[in-house]
A and B are shown apart, each in its own frame.
Chain A
Amino acid sequence: MTKMRRRQMMPPAEKVAEAGRRFAHLRVPKGQSLREKALRWLGGFLLLMLLFTLLSRTADELTIPRVSLEEPQNRRVDHKVTAFGKAEELSATAVLSVPGIRVAGIAVREGEKVEQDEPLFTLDREDLAKKTEEAEQELEDKELDLEALQAEEALKAQDRERAIARAWEDQTAAQANTGKEVERAAETLKRAKEKLQEAQAQPVPDLSFFQEAYEKAEAARQSAEEAWQRLEQEVEEQAGQARKAAQEAGEDPDEAETKLREQYASRLEAAGEKREAAQKENQEAQDALARAQEENTGILELQEAMESAQRVYDQAKESQDTSLRAAARAVEDAQRPSVPNTSEEKAEAQREAQRETVRVLRELLEQGGVVRAPQRGTVTKVLLEVGSPVPEGAALLLADSARGAIFTAQVPASQEKYLAPGGEVLLKPGAGKEELTGLTLDSIRKDREDPSLFNVTVRLPEGTMEIGASAEMEISNNSQEYPVCVPLSALHEENGSYYLLVPRETYTVLGKDLVAARLDVTVLEKSESYAALDEGGLLRGQKFLTYSNKAVRAGDRIRLENS
């Protein structure tokens, strides 16, 4: 039986069971631990993610800043300038005394009011007497010194006058001496010029003409000489030839020569005469030339003489100028005013000061060494100590109560622009005292020592504040009204520009949320509590962050305080 046949004969249930066995691999396997574990892990992982979702949201809610919002206000930006200061005297008088005298007693304290002529302090009598004696001796010395100085000055004046007179004398002598020399040189020059002019007035032979004539005569002489020599030579030659020919012809050579010479005699004679004439002319031309040269040489010598005289005259003139200049300078030097000598004036001033000192000391001595108040006022400073000498300068300062007092304080330069003379001032003395109103700002000046501070003063009516008392000054300056004002706590600054943080809805992964967005603004005016903004950047009705329980930056998520 085949498998197929066997299968067909099976009952249905058994068929299904057999098919289940055959396709068991197609069924979902049971009891696979890895699969169950994986499913369990997956379930646990999802639970864990759920837990962390809750934790993360809780942590996020805890870290999100809670903020408060406000709208801009329409208000003024008040500037309140406050400063602490104290009342000072309007004017103070320094009570002076002679320094160096021991103080025996002080009758007043700082802040005490005194009347005129009231004793202030007492000087030691013995010390005062000693100082007076010393001062008188010193006065005598100064007077003697002054007399000596005056005598010295008188002698100096005499010496100076003498020096001036001598310088004038020297100048006059120099003028006279040098003048004579110049005159002599001028006379010599004049004569040389006259001689030259006379010589130049006569006609001067033209040397070139005579030179040319001489050269021609010389040439003629040489030509005549040469002709005569040629002729003689020719005669000799002809004579020789004649003698020879005569000898050859058997004739008498001497006779032939004599005959020849007779033939040439006239020619020789003519040539000889010509030669002598040429020599004579040459000689005459040479003599004429020599005479012409001699005449020219004379003029040159006269010219040289004149030039020499000119030089002498110039030297004499220069010497005269030099001498006169030196003499003039000597006079100037002698007449130059001397450096003012102030020794006498100083000595005189010192003598007068010493006289005053002696006078004061004598007065103090007569008063028993008691120094009294020159006027009514308040003692503001005592610079003395009992037993110590009176210091240089003021012994104590006395404020003039009659002229009232001023309140002074210092404010930073940044607040100076809110102050103006005449502005209303409120003073709070504190300690239960009544506030002072109705006061006005008197002056505002830059402090000399610290340019970042300004000194302000307020004149105080008499009797309002004691000198030395301190108080707080308050000055309010109301600006114009601005439509957009925000509290300073809402204004942020970065790199010199200002901005506000405004809420903005955004859609994030977590849904619709509020974030802080930056809104740049322009500040028009600012006080200690509010800032006025330019309307252009901020819409009216636009809310902005004023308060946050945590630091907030642009882009941070925020929650409203009451949400």
Chain B
Amino acid sequence: MRIPRFFFLFLLFCLAFLALCPVLLLLSGAFMSPRELSENLGPMLAETEGYGAWSLLPREPTLRSVVELLLDSPEFFPMFWNSLWVTGGTLLGQMLVGAPAAWGLARFRFPFRRVFLGLYLVLMLMPFQVTMLSGFLVLERFSLLNTLWSLILPGVFSAFPVFLMYRFFRSIPEAILESARLDTKNAFQVFRYTGVPLGSAGMVSALVLGFLESWNQIEQPMAFLKEKSLWPLSLYLPTLSLERAGPAFAGSLLALIPAILVFLSGRDYLEQGIVAAAIKE
């Protein structure tokens, strides 16, 4: 029996709604009044009687929380910029270090190439908790603890973007590179003028995914940073309480906006990357 298309659409809509629920809650919470937030969240956070509740549309919509965050919470902005510096530094480093590394692994033949590739794979699979202690010791030896470099440098030398760009560089046909080598013998120029343009989709994909990872990281700052003035935005939200729930929602919303914009700007490349990975030469 043929299943109607409407059923699939409805199912997809439900799944999409479930996935979007946290964002919708965030949106409504950012524009709720403090009284409404206390009523809804009081049973969960302040142990008042009753059960927690929520409404997607605020009964008393107000910009108070947003204004309070933007004008009356000076501690929010240093953390925002810290997140931006860490993320920007990490992405820039990944392009400067990771892209050539991926190009080398993809287009060059050298002894133990597969071993190195295997090591990259293993490193990529390891969670932060496994490498946290060794990373702490290395950073402490280089006197980088309690600085933003303790977040940037491990991100710069991360294995995941290398792996991602490796796949894209690997899919470039050798014939194009041969033709490029006809014009120049300089391997860097081949990489710079041929490899980078053709592998830009992979690089942008790595940038987008790297941005999301770096923007949201929370364990590394908690482990490597002691000074509060260096904390990124991901450590701001857990410090807030029921009394500051409105600014917490507004802060979450503001933290979400750059991630959405970055994703929108790189969505095409992500899709292309998925397609390219499916095409065989």
Q: Looking at the assembled complex, report how far the CB atom of B272 sits from the nearest CB atom of chain A, in whole angstroms.
A: 6
Q: Contact check, A35 vs B74: say whether CB atoms are below 8 A apart.
A: no
Q: Which of B176, B236, B266 contacts A19 (CB 8 A)?
A: B176
Q: Does B153 contact A (CB under 8 A)?
A: no
Let me know if A550 is at the binding interface, CB within 8 A.
no
A436 to B199, CA, bound (A): 103
Q: Check: B201 CB closer than 8 A to any chain A CB.
A: yes
B244-255: contact bitstring with A at CB < 8 Å (1 yes, 0 no)? 000000000010
Chain B positions within 8 Å of A508 at CB level: 75, 228-229
| Docked CA distance A135–B57 (Å) | 102
Does any Cβ of A come within 8 Å of B257's Cβ? Answer: yes
Contact B79 A509 (CB under 8 A): yes
Cα distance, A281 to B182, chains bound together (Å): 193
Picked from A16, A23, A29, the residue with its CB within 8 Å of the CB of B179 is A16
Say whether A19 contacts B71, CB under 8 Å. Answer: no
Which residues of A are found within 8 Å of B269, using beta-carbon distances? 28
Q: Is the CB of A23 within 8 A of B173?
A: yes
Cβ-based interface call for B275 (8 A): yes
In the docked arrangement, what's the CA distance between A510 and B229, Å? 5
CB-based contact B198/A23 at 8 Å: yes
Known interface pairs A12-B182, A32-B268; A25-B70 also in contact (CB < 8 Å): no
B contacts with A: majority SS: helix
Q: How far is the CA of A59 from the CA of B198 in the complex (A)?
A: 49
B49 at interface (Cβ–Cβ under 8 A)?
Answer: no
Given A26-B201, A32-B268, A510-B78 in contact, is the A19-B175 Cβ separation under 8 Å?
yes
Cβ B264 vs Cβ A16 within 8 A: no
Task: Given A26-B198, A56-B76, A509-B79, check contact A41 B272 (CB 8 Å).
Answer: no
Bound form: Cα–Cα A16–B179 in Å: 7
Q: How far is the CA of A27 from the CA of B194 in the complex (A)?
A: 11
Expressed in whole angstroms, the minimum distance between the Cβ of A257 and any Cβ of chain B is: 138
A49 at the interface (CB under 8 A from B): yes
B173 touches A19 (CB 8 A): yes
Is the CB–CB distance between B176 and A507 below 8 Å? no
**For residues 54 through 76 of chain B, which have their beta carbon under 8 Å from a beta carbon of chain A?**
70-76
Check A56–B72 contact: CB distance below 8 A: yes
| CB of B280, distance to nearest CB on chain A (Å) | 13
Interface of A is mostly: helix
Contact B77–A26 (Cβ < 8 Å): no
- A35, closest chain B residue (CB): B265
Residue from the set B74, B84, B198, B265 with the largest chain A CB neighbour count within 10 Å = B74
The reply on A529 being an interface residue by CB < 8 A is: no
Contacts of A49 in B (CB 8 A): 77, 80, 254
Q: How distant is A118 from chain B, measured CB to nearest CB, in Å?
A: 83
Q: Complex formed: what's the CA distance from A311 to B272 in Å?
A: 148
Q: Interface code B73-106, partner A: CB below 8 Å = 1, 0 otherwise?
A: 1111111110010000000000000000000000
Q: Is the CB of B171 within 8 A of A26?
A: yes
The answer to whether A35 touches B175, judged by C-beta atoms less than 8 angstroms apart, is no
B265 and A39 contact, CB distance less than 8 A:
yes
- A441 to B: closest C-beta gap in Å: 57
Within the complex, the shortest CB–CB distance from A245 to chain B, in Å, comes to 138
B198 contacts A60, CB within 8 Å? no
Query: In the docked arrangement, what's the CA distance between A26 and B198, Å?
Result: 6
The answer to whether B172 has its CB under 8 Å from any CB of chain A is: yes
Pair A42/B261 contact, Cβ less than 8 Å: yes
Q: Which of A12, A26, A42, A60 has the most B CB atoms < 10 Å from its CB?
A: A26
Complex: A29 Cα to B267 Cα, angstroms: 12
B118: chain A residues within 8 A (beta carbon): none
Residues of A within 8 A of B73 (CB): 56
Question: In the bound complex, what is the Cα–Cα distance between A56 and B74 (angstroms)?
Answer: 5
Cβ of A151 under 8 Å from chain B: no
Task: For the complex formed, measure the closest distance between the CB of B154 and the CB atoms of chain A, giving whole angstroms.
Answer: 23
A509 close to B268 (CB less than 8 A): no
- Asked whether, in the complex, the Cβ of A55 is within 8 Å of the Cβ of B176, the reply is no
Contact of A52 among B71, B228, B229, B276 (CB under 8 A): B71
Q: Does A15 contact B (CB under 8 A)?
A: yes
Asked whether B52 is an interface residue with its Cβ less than 8 Å from the other chain, the reply is no
Residue A511 interfacial (CB < 8 Å): yes
Q: How far is the CB of B209 from chain A (nearest CB, A)?
A: 16
CA distance A49 to B204 in the complex (A): 24
Interface positions of A from 39 to 81, Cβ below 8 Å from B = 39, 41-42, 45-46, 49, 52-53, 55-57, 59-60
Contact of B228 among A27, A55, A507 (CB under 8 A): A507
A59 with B175: CB separation less than 8 A:
no
Rounded to whole Å, the gap between the CB of A99 and the closest CB of chain B is 76
Question: Are A507 and B227 in contact (CB-based, < 8 A)?
Answer: yes
Contacts of B266 in A (CB 8 A): 35
**Is B160 at the interface (CB under 8 A from chain A)?**
no
A59–B172 touching, CB < 8 Å? no
Among candidates B176, B236, B258, residue contacting A16 with C-beta atoms closer than 8 Å: B176
Asked whether B262 is an interface residue with its Cβ less than 8 Å from the other chain, the reply is: yes
Please tell me if B43 contacts chain A, counting CB pairs below 8 Å.
Answer: no
B147, chain A: closest CB distance, angstroms: 14
Q: Considering the chains assembled together, what is the distance between the CA atoms of A55 and B69 in angstroms?
A: 11
Q: What is A's interface to B at a CB cutoff of 8 Å?
A: 12, 15-16, 19, 23, 25-29, 32, 34-35, 37-39, 41-42, 45-46, 49, 52-53, 55-57, 59-60, 507-512
Listed A/B pairs (26) with beta-carbon separation below 8 Å? A15-B175, A15-B179, A19-B173, A19-B175, A23-B173, A23-B176, A25-B275, A35-B266, A41-B261, A45-B257, A45-B258, A46-B258, A52-B70, A52-B71, A56-B71, A56-B73, A56-B74, A59-B71, A508-B228, A508-B229, A509-B79, A509-B229, A509-B231, A509-B236, A510-B75, A510-B229
Known: A23-B172, A507-B228. 17 other contacts (CB 8 A): A15-B179, A16-B179, A19-B176, A26-B199, A27-B197, A37-B264, A41-B261, A42-B261, A42-B262, A45-B257, A52-B71, A56-B74, A60-B74, A509-B228, A509-B236, A510-B74, A510-B75
7 closest pairs, A vs B, by CB?
A38-B264, A38-B265, A509-B75, A53-B77, A60-B74, A42-B261, A511-B229
